[in-house]
Amino acid sequence: MKNNILYLSILVFSFNFLVSCKEGIAKQENTIEMVTSQEMEDLSKMEEVKVLDVRTEQEFSVEHIKNAQNIVYDENFSDKIADLDKSKPVIVYCKSGGRSEKSAQILKDSGFVKVYDLKGGITQWKYDKKETEK
């Protein structure tokens, strides 16, 4: 009898542990992760990661992070991102973090698997002496 109770207790504990781990992984994949300039640089070297610059076209034309795609954050942002592959990770940045925070939330709400937001935007990127291009 004691062995049956012990066995049942272990079984229940194991099941709860596995379920909580699975939920934790699912929640982690559906979150917005703030990244530093160095983390973004490392992430952006991966082929599958899309880098989005959500500043204005004028700001983008002055300088931007290499391989970034300019999709301006405005009232039509949701429509503009509709054709992007939601199964691929995306890194978003703006000048200092305000627009990218709002954009990242829209990306997450739109079903993107993994969303990264550059902490401090391109301002921090340049402060950290990371390269930009015109």
Q: What is the mean pLDDT of each run of 10 residues along the chain (134 residues)?
A: 53 47 47 92 85 96 94 95 93 94 95 94 94 90
Kindly report, residue by residue over 22-50, the tens digit of the pLDDT. Answer: 444 444 456 899 999 999 988 888 778 99
Q: Which amino acid is at 86?
A: K
- Give DSSP secondary structure letters for 108-123: HHTT-S-EEEETTHHH
- pTM recorded for the entire structure: 0.75
